[in-house]
């Protein structure tokens, strides 16, 4: 007879491996361990309210989030993106993207990927600039994931526009902390010392904050 702790550990590894195999086929900017973290938080994280993602690209992080919340039959994922790429995805830039070069959008790839991994029924796609979507957003958010334009100004704008909707005890996740200058400087200067938030996890630059007030 195997004990519950042994079975739990094995289950976690099997679940990670099984999901990682499917998700690693999707193009995107996310380590699989970060995706697994988002999945677990979407499935079992605190609070009640929508899951909102700012910056979906081709659906990698969206897919992990949707898999988690779907497994628990909880709230859907709202994926906010203009799907025209960040500055670094534009032709000639450091992370030039072939879909942006070819057709100017990643929306087709996003839809294809979300359907391929079986979560299109759990994703509401909002094709809009973050600031435009925020202007009409209503309702509580329990998990906010910000991964759009990584400049200082854009990171601050996304944070300031969307975090007021996050419920107390809810989670705010920021990506690429320690990897991109703008968002890292914003985090260090304006979020880390903010008493309304407490850092609860840092998975290879995916910072998870609990909203305290």
Ligand X SMILES: C[S@@+](CC[C@H](N)C(=O)[O-])C[C@H]1O[C@@H](n2cnc3c(N)ncnc32)[C@H](O)[C@@H]1O
**Residues in contact with ligand X by the rule CB under 6 A:** 28-30, 55-57, 60-61, 80-86, 106, 129-130, 147-149
Q: What's the closest the beta carbon of residue 119 comes to ligand X, in angstroms?
A: 14
DSSP, collapsed to helix, strand or coil, labels residue 205 as coil
Minimum Å gap between C-beta 68 and ligand X is 14
By C-beta, is 27 or 169 nearer to ligand X?
Answer: 27
Position closest to ligand X via CB: 28
> How many distinct helices (H) and strands (E) make up the chain?
8, 7
Q: What share of the chain is helix, strand, coil (3-state, %, to 5)?
A: 45, 20, 35
The DSSP 8-state label assigned to residue 76 in this structure reads P
- In a 10 Å sphere around its CB, with 0-12 CB exposed, 13-18 middle and 19+ buried, how is residue 32 labelled? middle
Minimum separation from the CB atom of position 40 to ligand X (A): 16
Q: How far is the CB of 185 from ligand X (least distance, A)?
A: 17
The residue annotated as part of the active site, out of 11, 89, 98, 150, is 150
With respect to ligand X, which residue has the nearer C-beta, 88 or 169?
88
Report how far apart, in Å, the C-alpha atoms of 164 and of each of 14, 37, 170 are.
37, 23, 11
* Nearer of residues 37 and 61 to ligand X, judged by Cβ: 61
Catalytic residue flag (residue 150): yes
Question: Which residues make Cβ contacts (< 8 Å) with residue 205, sequence separation at least 6?
Answer: 34, 175, 176, 177, 178, 179
Nearest to 114 by CA among 105, 126, 102, 122: 122
Nearer to ligand X, 28 or 170 (CB): 28
Residues forming beta bridges with residue 22, ordered by sequence position: none
Q: Which residues are annotated as catalytic?
A: 150
């Amino acid at each position: 007879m195997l004990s519950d702790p042994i079975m739990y550990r094995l289950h976690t590894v099997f679940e990670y491996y099984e999901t990682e195999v499917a998700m690693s086929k999707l193009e995107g900017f996310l380590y699989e361990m970060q995706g697994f973290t988002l999945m677990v938080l979407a499935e079992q994280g605190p609070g009640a309210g929508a899951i909102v993602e700012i910056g979906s690209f081709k659906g990698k992080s969206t897919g992990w989030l949707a898999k988690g919340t779907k497994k628990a039959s909880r709230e859907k994922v709202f994926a906010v993106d203009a799907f025209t790429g960040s500055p670094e995805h534009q032709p000639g830039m450091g992370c030039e993207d072939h879909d942006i070069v070819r057709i100017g959008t990643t929306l087709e790839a996003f839809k294809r990927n979300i359907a391929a991994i079986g979560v299109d029924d759990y994703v509401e796609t909002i094709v809009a600039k973050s600031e435009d979507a925020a202007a009409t957003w209503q309702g509580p958010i329990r998990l906010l994931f910000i991964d759009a334009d990584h400049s200082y100004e854009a990171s601050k704008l996304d944070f300031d526009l969307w975090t007021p909707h996050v419920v107390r005890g809810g989670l705010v996740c920021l990506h690429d902390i320690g990897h991109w200058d703008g968002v890292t400087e914003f985090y260090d200067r304006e979020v880390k010392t903010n008493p309304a938030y407490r850092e609860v996890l840092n998975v290879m630059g995916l910072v998870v904050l609990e909203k305290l007030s």
